[in-house]
Amino acid sequence: MLSNQRIFMIVGSVALVMLSAVVHEVAHGWVAYKLGDPTAKQAGRLTLNPLAHLDPVGSVLLPLLMAWIGGPVFAFAKPVPYNPYNLRNPRRDEVLVALAGPTSNLLQALVGSLAFRLAFASWSGAADALYWVLMALQIYVYVNLTLMFFNLIPLPPLDGSKIVMPLLHGSARQSYYKIQQYSMPILLVVLYVLPSVLGFDPLGMYLDATAGNLATLMMGA
């Protein structure tokens, strides 16, 4: 039977990853709008209303499954649409739009870690209401850092691919185009096949070294 803490971790992780993913997508659309593209605004996607963004599989089932398994929890919402041809400086602005999502997650993690430190300073050590608030803030910080570092992986459809692309030229860009064709199989292998079949989890190791260590540093825990 699941303990109250385990249930809280699962439900809290899924709820907070939904919130964080929505903010992530709105950030993409908001920066695109500020740089000249009104597509997201016209589509009604510059809103924090989760109903406008959540994807049943990527926003609910995937994080629920990952929280149940006990590994890193991340998710994706429906991508906010934008038209790069409307951007004032497409080559530069596409990178800024891509960076907006991970940056929003970093800012959320910073806010969460500050709130955690303030709440922790007032905590008596008892298993009271503040204890559950601290747990929620820990989850919020880690979820956002996980989303940030996961999205910085340079494979489509992740934001890292849009950040790397303008930096490549000639044969390097052509080689990257070829790799892009296999991006989803690569992600599926890394996410599921390697950990379950070979017991090797490179993504988990990467997220532990990045999101895990940074979360510990930010919260002083």
CA distance 183 to 186: 5
Distance CA(25)–CA(46), nearest Å, equals 9
Could you say which of 12, 20, 24, 25 is catalytic? 25
Task: Kindly report the average pLDDT of the chain as a whole number.
Answer: 85
Given the structure tokens 């995937």, which residue do they identify? 62
Crossing angle of helices 4-34 and 129-151, rounded to 10°: 50
Threshold 0.75, pTM exceeds = yes
Check residue 2 and give its pLDDT.
Answer: 59
pLDDT over threshold 60, residue 1: no
Q: The dihedral of CA 187, 26, 101, 12: what is its sign?
A: negative
Whole-number pLDDT of residue 152: 94
| Annotation says 25 is catalytic | yes
- The DSSP element (H or E) to which 215 belongs, if any, is helix 213-219
Residue 84 pLDDT > 80:
yes
Q: What is the pLDDT of residues 44-81, one digit of tens each?
A: 999 998 888 887 777 777 777 776 766 666 666 788 88
